[in-house]
Amino acid sequence: MNQTAEIANDDHTDAHVDEEIADCLNLDAPRSFFLFAGAGSGKTSSLVAALQHAQRTMSDRLRVKGQRIAVITFTNAASDEIKRRLLFDPLIDVRTIHSFAWSLIEGLNHDIREWLRVDLAEDIKQLKAEEANGRPGTKASVTRLSKIESKTKRLGNLENIKAFAYSPSGDNRGRDALNHSEVLQLTAYFLRSKPAMQCILAGRYPILLIDESQDTNKHLIDALFEVETKLKGKFLLGLLGDMMQRIYADGKEGLGDELPEHWATPGKKLNYRCPKRIVTLINKVRSTTDKQHQEPCASAKEGVIRFFILPSNQEGKPAVEQAIARHMSKITGDEKWSEPKLVKTLTLEHRMAASRMGFLDAFVPLYDLESWRTSFLDGSLPISRFFSDQILSLVRAKLANDRFAVARIAKAYSPRLTQAALRESVEPQKLLEGVNTAVDMLMDLWKDGADPTLLEVLQCIAKNELLEIPEALKPHASGVIDKAAASSSVDDEQVDRQTERDLAIQAFLKAPFSQIEPMAEYLSGNAPFDTHQGVKGLEFDRVMVIMDDAEARGFLFKYEDLFGGKEVGNKTVENTKRLFYVTASRAKESLALVAYSSSPERVLRFVLGQGWFVQDEVIVGVPT
């Protein structure tokens, strides 16, 4: 039996890895480590096993000293999952990178102010130099002048800020607020320049473990390496990740290369997620990038892959993708490929998913406004939540004739049924009757199969005082914004930058209400669609990857470049190859890769020439 077969038939090949990490977690002789863990290797299980070992062996010692173990995760979902597996033990402090960074610098208001004073002055100086050398009147010039004005105003206001504020999941718009980038830069700077901060970190957290370390901010990683070097023996840094899965630009290139000699470098070889055929593919894909190689586990299925090549100008792409799903169902014998909700379809950009799911009109105005994008995508933006959480829930309850749900929603959100209103009312029953009448008037908007706009729904609710309207929507609900827009010119709107949000809301409110439900499903992560970047760490039985540069309009990732458009080693090629690796390695059973290209022949030559696929696995054109 050859070595590969021996490994594949031994699912305990990586058992020693958890033991190696446990040996590193020794408060008397701590040893920092970098764990290589490729796709589907059980990285999170190893992280949890390490933390459970710490719980068993050092809990009392840490508690006596008032210390904890810190864990940095990439997403809130990953943080919640680790906490759950550890039974919410307060000894383990699990946070996202931004939350962790803020926990270190919160309250250091004088130091933050002085850093901002220098940073803002340098930014203004650079922008003025660029403006002096640039052309006046251009969009770039307008943007520069706006930034100069904003930063100058902020610099002048620094002395008036007593305490700086920050929310890891918010948009941080107040004059006292720091943005996400600033928090990471500040933390990295303080850790590198202030010995006291280094001692505070090591004293608070003698062990710091970082999941998805390849995508952790490079400046913070560099700062933590410095702390580890200066406080060797007092501070243990554990990094877990896979450089092939680095898909964000601010991650550190070459992380894991040229580590200090005292670092341990355990590595996991098995892929427990993917079938054999997919493991073979992802090994081939990464073979020109690094020498890491995975093996399927003993119980792995053979798996099915098909690579579909279509022209960029292909008409009716959603219908084509449905035909591809039907073809996958036929060749795999898996009828679930014919059920859209049981196939995870990955698009390069959110708009592509919004277009395919039918909520593009509601999505684009809020997504395009950069200051709202974060809260919109994480589902916390009050404007979109008002429609998805309150109005949609109310409409669903009424359609289901669920009187109790209608009453519960009305009691929670209606200004007519506040405690004060009920106390002051002589006839509370009439208040309830009024709410029911308002609900009926709202439902009349859908009479005879109509699909009202969001504005029509909003104005009906406002007119009847059915729900409390969010502040940003009140001028639109009353029609004040519409009247102002009718009397102002386009130039006026462009000059007054304060109208940017109102213009976005106006466009959003033109969308039909029917788009709210699929949009809410998508933003909650429960839709059959997701982005290539958004599924890192996740897994699905059936995966369809849509690669369409023309529709995505991006610049960091270009599949045309990857598939023979540019040479191996080109930065965009390497970025896209890593993204391709991440998406392909999500599949547990079967995988359909759909490439739209301006040169299908070139793509065909490339994938066959690279040995990624055999002829029978590649289909050019719409399958029949």
Query: Per-domain residue ranges for the chain?
Result: 3-105+189-271, 109-163, 276-348+532-620, 360-519
Residue 122: band (very low, low, confident or very high) from pLDDT cuts 50, 70, 90: very high
- Output the pLDDT for position 404: 93
Beta-bridge partner residues of 33:
238, 264
Q: What is the per-residue DSSP string for 519-552?
A: HHHHHTT-SSEEETGGGTT--EEEEEEEE-HHHH
The token duo for 223 is 């700062």
Question: Could you report the per-residue pLDDT of 205-248, keeping only the tens digit for each?
Answer: 999 999 999 999 999 999 999 999 999 999 999 999 999 999 88
Does the pLDDT value for residue 32 go beyond 80? yes
- C-alpha separations of 455 from 374, 466, 507 in Å: 24, 15, 10
Q: What is the mean pLDDT of residues 331-347?
A: 97
Query: Which residue, among 380, 385, 383, has the nearest Cα to 471 in the 3D structure?
Result: 383
**DSSP letter at 254?**
T
Count of residues making up the chain: 624
The fold of 3-105+189-271 is: Rossmann fold (3.40.50)
Mean pLDDT of 579-592: 97
Q: What are 512-557's pLDDT values in tens digits?
A: 999 999 999 999 989 999 999 888 889 999 999 999 999 987 777 9
Separation in Å, CA 544 to CA 315, 326, 346, 499, 594: 19, 12, 6, 40, 7
Under 8 Å between Cβ of 151 and 119: no
CA-derived radius of gyration, the chain:
28
Decide: residue 81, CB within 10 A, 0-12 exposed, 13-18 middle, 19+ buried: middle
**Can you give the pLDDT at residue 487?**
45
Give the angle 101-242-292 at the CA atoms, nearest 5°.
160
**From the candidate CATH numbers 3.40.50, 1.10.357, 2.120.10, 2.130.10, the one assigned to the domain spanning 276-348+532-620:** 3.40.50
At 558 the three-state DSSP class reads coil
Establish whether domains 3-105+189-271 and 276-348+532-620 are of one fold. Answer: yes
Residue 337 near residue 590, CB atoms below 8 Å: yes
Rounded Cα gap, residues 450 and 443, in angstroms:
10
Residue 272 has a pLDDT of 95
pLDDT given for residue 11 in this prediction: 66
Percentage of residues in the chain having pLDDT higher than 70? 94
> What's at 194, amino acid-wise?
K
Q: Which two three-digit tokens encode residue 514?
A: 């029917």
Strands 618-620 and 587-597: unpaired
Burial (CB < 10 A; 0-12, 13-18, 19+), residue 254, is exposed
> Is the separation of the CB atoms in 209 and 175 below 8 Å?
no
Q: What is the mean pLDDT of residues 92-119?
A: 96
How far apart, in whole angstroms, are the C-alpha atoms of residue 83 and residue 75?
13
The helix/strand/coil state of 296 is: strand
Which of 75-79, 159-163, 257-261, 327-331 bottoms out in mean pLDDT, i.e. has the lowest?
A: 75-79
Query: How far apart are alpha carbons 286 and 292 in whole angstroms?
Result: 8
Distance separating alpha carbons of residues 310 and 106, to the nearest angstrom:
52
User: Facing residues of 240 across strands?
Assistant: 35
Q: Record the tokens describing residue 616, joined without a space.
A: 């029978």
Do 340 and 325 meet the contact criterion of CB atoms below 8 Å apart? Answer: yes
What's the chain's average pLDDT?
91
SS3 of residue 347 by DSSP: strand
Please state the pTM of the whole predicted model: 0.85
